[in-house]
């Protein structure tokens, strides 16, 4: 995550915080895609008939 100087102008601080959340959301999307991709394999391992 980005660290922001408290004495920086408001626009720079806002940019720093939103960059951090953008990175967090990218990680969340990647994790979601990976979980969806491995879901069939996990079901097979659990012997799910559905």
Whether 4 is covered by a domain: the verdict is no
Give the pLDDT confidence score for residue 8 in this predicted structure.
75
Whether 47 is covered by a domain: the verdict is yes
Whether 5 is covered by a domain: the verdict is no
Mean pLDDT, residues 11-34 taken together:
91
Whether 16 is covered by a domain: the verdict is yes
Q: Which domain holds residue 16?
A: 10-50
d(CA 23, CA 3): 13
Whether 44 is covered by a domain: the verdict is yes
24 pLDDT band (50/70/90 cuts)?
Answer: very high
Structural domain count, the chain? 1
CA 36 to chain centre: 14
User: What pTM did the predictor assign?
Assistant: 0.65
How high is the mean pLDDT of the chain? 85
17 pLDDT band (50/70/90 cuts)?
Answer: confident
d(CA 24, CA 48): 33
């Amino acid at each position: 995550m980005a660290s922001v100087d408290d004495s920086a102008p408001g626009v720079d601080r806002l940019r720093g915080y939103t960059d951090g959340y953008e990175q967090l959301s990218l990680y969340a999307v990647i994790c979601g895609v990976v979980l969806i991709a491995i879901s069939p394999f996990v079901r097979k391992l659990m012997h799910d008939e559905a």
